[in-house]
Amino acid sequence: MARICFRSQVNPALLDAYKDAHAAVWPAMLEALRDTGWRDYSLFLDDDGLLIGVVEVDDSLDAAQRRMAATEVNAAWQAEMGALFADADAPPDEGFVTLPEVFNLDAQLTAAGLPTHANYPPATTSTRTGA
């Protein structure tokens, strides 16, 4: 499994339209993402239009994108979303710029011989001690 972070750029004048579209993604698009191996997928949008995505895929982002491109709904969704991006020359899902991971908490906990979240009690509501 691979965890991918990518960035893209939404047209700042169209942020509300982008947010509205993602507040109620088409059910067929949701199913296609799920069925083509996109997991734990989140998008984060800054006020200047910077879009950051984080997704887990079975193999690679390229392979997951190819599987999505083969679905009928993806072309319609990309056409709809294309008008909302700063670079309208290519479908939005082809303009992702991937970012390299430079820190991973669980990997470093493991390397240091420390428990990870998988084998550590949940955090408490207070981080203060001795209060």
Determine which one of 3, 19, 22, 34 is catalytic: 22
* Residue 22 is among the residues annotated as catalytic for this protein: yes
Give the DSSP letter string of 8-20.
Answer: EEB-GGGHHHHHH
Rg over CA atoms, the chain: 18
97-99/39-45 β-pairing:
unpaired
Cβ–Cβ < 8 Å for 77, 29: yes
Active site residues: 22
